[in-house]
Structure 1
């Protein structure tokens, strides 16, 4: 009884210890901490954007079309970042647009990671001929330029934000397959897997309970980097008219609607571009910090 209580207490102490160790290595990367704070603001706007935005994202102020960022007469702020060609408030559209970009990142990473992990586990445990077939299919997908392949898939499925997310997830999936398979092949040779197999563990228990938890560190880093890639690809598809459709305040679609006004109204292009740049850069910096904190080879004594 005492031994069981001692073991349980040790596990409770070990978990906070691991979190402290993770945070210790993560915060050594100042850029990663800055990226984490920016990502937290981005997530907050994604969750509460419609309530934080000063105006409705689709409301049109016909008397204030292409108004530059400035004070209104009378000394009160009305359109802090100006308005677009239809008189819609730029700040409100950027804030609400964060929700769409965050939604794209979450859905794309969830679909790509789930499918990629399952296929990678199958490839890692399957006979060699099955593994070869799976990896050749992944190689074919990776042989195409990612944005071009996404464009083709959206053209087949039809232009919409949902179809854009499906296309981007398919394009990103091979990265998870290759990463998971490589981690599985490395872990399969270790003693704890052999012990579990000798103890009678079934194939599914070996895959999802024994091996998978020890492969998660590089997958988590890849998920963070894929999150930014998904946002960037969704913005690119929206800019090309194959992603979210107007009047959806998605950042890429906002750029597409404003491209003919680049010389007349710099703010309608600059602010959505800066939003994409800052968000993607912050997530990439956070991904670097996750890599430093989760990869034992990069930890300094």
Structure 2
């Protein structure tokens, strides 16, 4: 008996098993590295930015990138219509974009998980009311609803984040409720209920930990959606306000110069594209690694 137990192969740790399935998706690994790079840039932006993001160089207005004719390595990515260094503003803008993503996902997921748990354990009439409200919110185009909310609250980055979080919350509610209804039918929940576990213990200690896998994937995908929506609201003048170096606001300030100074529009757009693409690729890898149905034996 002892020899048999010792000779049995050890089950890999949860973290090692997760990384094994995650790294099978090459795109997800690349996305993770790119995401980590942008996160490092955002964290170190006060140190690595060549200039202050609002500092104006009036003698270098709309100066092209260093490799173009008339460019200078003092401003590697050129300057904007007010003579501000594009590289410094892009680096500082990474902080705002990641700040938006973290705040929006935190608010949306926290509220969505709580409401989803309540809906999953509530009586049928209350569950129906909650889900119909979520359906009404989802019936509106997300960006249009965010615009309406920001128009009511007033244009600012904080209000834009609140509006985006409200728009994204129904996705967490529906996902959490579905996972709760699935887990409630399992034997371990019945055993905990028979053992005398209260409603709050069943919700938060017994059921919720087993519902986190799809929520984590949704959080990763919502992160990129939050960055996109914040950039869209900034571009429309309803998000971050000048001179804040948020990527969407940078696009809005530069749109009239698109034909004569391509770099003032191209670089913020490329930054948004690469960041969102990296996060989406990483989200696909998280789904592959956390969903047991997608794991290959």
TM-score by length of 1: 0.93
**2:96 maps to which of 100, 105, 109:** 100
**2:242 aligned partner:** 246
Q: Tell me if the contact between 1:225 and 1:283 (Cα under 8 Å) persists in the aligned partners.
A: yes
SS at match of 1:83: coil
**1:40 aligned partner:** 36
Q: Tell me if the contact between 2:183 and 2:189 (Cα under 8 Å) persists in the aligned partners.
A: yes
Q: Tell me if the contact between 1:238 and 1:256 (Cα under 8 Å) persists in the aligned partners.
A: yes
Tell me which moved more, 101-110 or 40-49. 40-49
Q: Tell me if the contact between 2:234 and 2:241 (Cα under 8 Å) persists in the aligned partners.
A: yes
Q: Tell me if the contact between 2:65 and 2:72 (Cα under 8 Å) persists in the aligned partners.
A: no
**1:7 aligned partner:** none
Task: Evaluate the alpha carbon distance shift between residue 72 and residue 296 of structure 1 in structure 2; reply closer, same or farther with a 3 A threshold.
Answer: closer
**2:147 maps to which of 127, 135, 151:** 151
1:89 aligns with 2:85: yes
Question: C-alpha displacement at 1:51, in angstroms?
Answer: 1.1
**1:4 aligned partner:** none
Runs of 4+ in 1 over 4 A off after TM superposition: none
Q: Tell me if the contact between 1:71 and 1:78 (Cα under 8 Å) persists in the aligned partners.
A: no
**1:21 aligned partner:** 17
**1:132 aligned partner:** 128
**1:258 maps to which of 221, 238, 254:** 254
User: What residue ranges of structure 2 are gaps of 5+ in the alignment?
Assistant: 1-9
2:206, 2:133 → 1: CA distance?
27
What is the number of equivalent residue pairs in this alignment? 288
SS at match of 1:57: coil
SS at match of 2:44: helix
**1:78 aligned partner:** 74
2:38, 2:189 → 1: CA distance?
41
1:252, 1:92 → 2: CA distance?
15
Question: C-alpha displacement at 1:206, in angstroms?
Answer: 0.2
2:126, 2:72 → 1: CA distance?
67
**2:274 maps to which of 278, 288, 299:** 278
Question: C-alpha displacement at 1:71, in angstroms?
Answer: 5.6
**2:111 aligned partner:** 115
1:153, 1:182 → 2: CA distance?
28
TM-score by length of 2: 0.95
User: What residue ranges of structure 1 are gaps of 5+ in the alignment?
Assistant: 1-12
1:76, 1:94 → 2: CA distance?
18
Q: Tell me if the contact between 2:66 and 2:72 (Cα under 8 Å) persists in the aligned partners.
A: no
- The Cα offsets for residues 133-160 of structure 1, whole Å up to 9 and x where unpaired, read as 0000000000000000000000000000
